Amino acid sequence: MIKMKKKAVKVETKTSKLSDTEQVLEYIKKSKHILKNELEIVRNIILGANKKITEHIKWNAPSFCFNGDDRITFNLSKKDCIQLIFHRGAKVKEVKGDKPMLDDTTGLLIWASNDRAIAKFFSAQEINEKKEKLKKIVKQWIKITTE
């Protein structure tokens, strides 16, 4: 009897990496946040505010970019609300003056510093009521942070 060595055959399967948008959609699909549906509503408002806004996962949450720079990121650590962080990227950048860099006429923003603000949403009804204000703030934020 002849003994034959079994040769291990490695089968390679091609797995395509998910696009940034696909990663965001997968993140939302798997999210256990109580306001998961509201997360999708806010996402669509942000993406609809400017066709050049892109998205990806950053800091373990959906984040929105303009010209490749992160500008708005979800903070989903609170269970009762969705928070949007308006910022100018991960690195600290110099800001002239000590006033908030944007005159928020909508009343949506809570200023954490003169170049970082937070918007909070607690329900789909509130988001729908403030949809136009959010869209306005997103447009203004993109404009002011890219000048």
Classify 34-93+100-146 by CATH class: alpha beta
Helices 36-49 and 20-30, packing angle to 10 deg: 160
Least confident of 10-19, 98-107, 113-122: 10-19
Q: 28: helix, coil or strand?
A: helix
Tokens linked to 8: 């291990």
Q: What is the mean pLDDT of the chain?
A: 88
pTM of the entire predicted model = 0.84
- Is the pLDDT at 39 greater than 50? The verdict is yes
**What is d(CA 68, CA 65) in angstroms, rounded to the nearest whole number?**
5
State the average pLDDT over residues 101-117.
92
The domain locations on the chain are: 34-93+100-146
State the average pLDDT over residues 84-105.
80
**What is d(CA 132, CA 18) in angstroms, rounded to the nearest whole number?**
31
* Ordered alpha helix ranges (H), 18-99: 20-30, 36-49
CB burial class (10 A; 0-12, 13-18, 19+) of residue 141? buried
State the average pLDDT over residues 114-129.
96
State the average pLDDT over residues 61-87.
95
